[in-house]
Amino acid sequence: MKPEMERLYNECRGCKDCELAKTRNNLVFGTGNDDARVMFIGEGPGETEDRLGEPFVGRAGQLFDRMLAGVDMERKEVYIANIVKCRPPKNRDPLPEEKEKCIHWLFEQIEIVKPEMIVCLGRIASAVIIDADIRISKDHGKLTKKGDTWMMPMLHPAAVLRNPSLKPEAFNDFCILRDKLEELK
Ligand code: URA
């Protein structure tokens, strides 16, 4: 881990800035290569993530890993984090105040990783990072540039698990990502 990421992690571990700190089992800070070309951002930890302290390790995470493998990428080469670092009880959406209090950790992670591309998984992360008015069902897979960084919303793998007919569309987003990374080389 880069020393500045380690410093941030140690600071974040003690965070009690919102109510979610009271019910978490583990903080889910983020994982992967902190020098990655691409950073994936989800919404917040679920039950498995809260238990293990790692993002995207439950059923949705396993589907995410398979799609990544489908474009010859591995999770250890990318960086993965969430909008909120602690699990919202019963997997409810994070509240506006929770997102506001937590987002600075993510912005600092982005500063440290300096990815060429940011991929937001699902509506909530896309709305915070890319565009508040995003319509994920029609906007997923569309690339935009903010400053020096390419941004792309993707369907959330949990949504694909709920509706498997979305799989080809979801995988196509990974193909768009792979092609963009190739083009940027
Ligand atoms: N869903 C998310 O948005 N993030 C995780 O870490 C796991 C599931």
What is the per-residue pLDDT for 109? 98
Nearest CA to ligand 1 atom 7: 56
Which ligand 1 atom sits closest to the C-alpha of 156? 3
- Residues within a 6 A CB radius of ligand 1: 42-46, 49, 55-56, 58, 60-61, 82, 121, 158
H/E stretch holding 149 reads strand 149-154
Q: Which of 25, 31, 56, 124 for a ligand 1 pocket mutation test, highest count of atoms within 8 Å of Cβ?
A: 56
What is the per-residue pLDDT for 56? 98
Tens digit of pLDDT for each residue in 5-40? 999 999 999 999 999 999 999 999 999 999 999 999
* Ligand 1 centroid – CA 135 distance (Å): 19
Its pTM stands at: 0.98
Per-residue exposure over 85-121, b if at least 16 CB sit within 10 Å of its own CB, e if not: bbbbeeeeebeeebbebbeebbebbbebbebbbbbbb
- The full DSSP string for 62-126 is HHHHHHHHHTT--GGGSEEEESSSSPPGGGPPPPHHHHHHHHHHHHHHHHHH--SEEEEESHHHH
What is the per-residue pLDDT for 14? 96
Tens digit of pLDDT for each residue in 112-150? 999 999 999 999 999 999 999 999 999 999 999 999 999
What is the per-residue pLDDT for 13? 97
* Ligand 1 centroid – CA 43 distance (Å): 6
Which residue, 10, 69, 3, 77, is CA-closest to 40?
77
